[in-house]
Structures are given as structure tokens and as C-alpha cells.
């Protein structure tokens, strides 16, 4: 593949093909060189610049999302579903991404937290996330976080007390 246009893939041999979707399977050494020579989503030593492991911070309109490039310490499919919900909310304009600077700061803070949490090579832990924290972050962003406060206590005190015990 030499390049993509809106709905056409151009191959090195000069041929072209109309496409609807691209599924890019790169294995364990991933990159995004097929999108503007890797300038949109930069990857260095398996460290990827994606806000909430989904959105490239340097895109003005948040028109590109990466779903599934995450290794949660929990079910991957559930994390991918929450990522897809976040993308849907973003593209439906129910929520907005923070500024590029805020996204980059958040990415750097998450990178540092991951390095402290896993105490292993950055390459090995580059995609790992704490499942509960990650799901909490995404659910708060899109507004579907469960209410664990007074509302639950008033509606179902027994369940509220059970939640406090765990």
C-alpha cells in the first residue's frame, strides 16, 4: 500500500481499489505509518500518543479513533465497547475532547502512572491499563458512570450497603 485517499487505496504497483473500511493488523510491533507517514499517530518503542487510548491529540476535528489498542487487566471486549461508546458520543457531538495541550498532558501523566504501576519495561506495559480505573474514566467522560452515592442509598439501601462493603 502506498497511500489512501477518501475511499480509495493506492498500491505500490500503481493499481487502485475502492474501499469502505480498513482493518490494519500489525501484530505486536504496531505503527500507523499508513496515515500521513506516521505523523498523525506517533509510536515510539510501542508508546502511542492517544488520549484515553483512543483519540490522536493533534487532529483538529477528532475525526479518527483507534479502538482496541489497549491491554486492560480485565476483559478487553468490555473496554473496547466503552471505547466505541466514547467515540460515538464524540462524533455525535455529545461530548468534546479537551484541548490538544490538555490531551498531551493527560497522555504524559498516564504514561508516568503506567511506568510506576507496572515497574517493567515501557514497551511491555505500553498498552496496559487498570481495567476499573480506565472504565471509570471513560464512563465519567460519556456520562454513564454508575451512581454509587446517596441516590442509590435512597433507592436501594441494601444494595448501597453491599457496595460499601466491597
Within 10 angstroms of residue 68's Cβ, the number of other Cβ atoms is: 14
pLDDT in tens, 59-88: 878 889 999 999 998 999 999 999 999 999
As beta bridge partners, residue 72 has 129
HSE-CB at 67 with a 13 A cutoff on CA atoms is 16
User: What per-residue confidence (pLDDT) applies to 28?
Assistant: 64
Give Cα 75 to chain centroid, integer Å.
Answer: 15
> What are the domain boundaries of the chain?
3-147
> Buried (b) or exposed (e) across 93-124, using 16+ Cβ within 10 A?
eeeebeeeeebeeebeebbeebeeeeeeeeee
CA dihedral over 115, 119, 124, 130, signed as positive or negative: negative
Share of the chain above pLDDT 90, in %: 45
Residue 122 banded pLDDT, cuts 50, 70, 90 = low
Give Cα 76 to chain centroid, integer Å.
Answer: 12
User: What per-residue confidence (pLDDT) applies to 76?
Assistant: 95
Q: pTM for the full model?
A: 0.71
User: What per-residue confidence (pLDDT) applies to 113?
Assistant: 84
User: What per-residue confidence (pLDDT) applies to 120?
Assistant: 62
Phi-psi region of 53 (alpha: psi -120 to 50; beta: other; left: phi over 0): left
Bridge-based pairing of strands 8-10 and 3-4 is antiparallel
Residue 51 contacts residue 57 (beta carbons within 8 Å): yes
Amino acid at each position: 500500500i502506498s497511500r489512501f485517499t477518501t475511499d480509495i487505496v493506492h498500491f505500490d504497483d500503481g493499481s487502485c481499489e475502492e474501499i469502505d473500511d480498513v482493518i490494519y493488523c500489525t501484530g505486536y510491533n504496531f505503527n500507523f505509518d499508513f496515515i500521513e507517514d506516521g505523523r498523525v499517530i506517533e509510536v515510539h518503542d510501542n508508546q502511542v500518543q492517544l488520549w484515553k487510548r483512543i483519540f490522536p491529540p493533534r487532529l483538529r476535528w477528532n475525526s479518527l479513533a483507534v479502538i482496541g489498542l489497549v491491554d486492560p487487566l480485565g476483559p478487553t471486549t468490555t473496554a473496547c465497547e466503552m471505547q466505541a461508546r466514547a467515540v460515538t458520543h464524540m462524533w455525535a457531538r455529545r461530548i468534546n475532547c479537551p484541548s490538544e495541550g490538555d490531551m498531551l498532558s493527560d497522555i504524559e501523566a498516564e504514561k508516568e502512572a503506567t511506568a510506576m504501576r507496572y515497574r517493567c519495561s515501557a514497551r511491555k506495559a505500553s498498552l496496559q491499563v487498570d481495567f476499573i480505573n480506565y472504565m471509570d474514566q471513560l464512563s465519567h467522560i460519556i456520562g454513564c458512570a454508575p451512581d454509587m452515592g446517596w441516590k442509590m442509598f435512597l433507592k436501594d439501601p441494601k444494595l448501597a450497603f453491599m457496595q460499601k462493603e466491597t
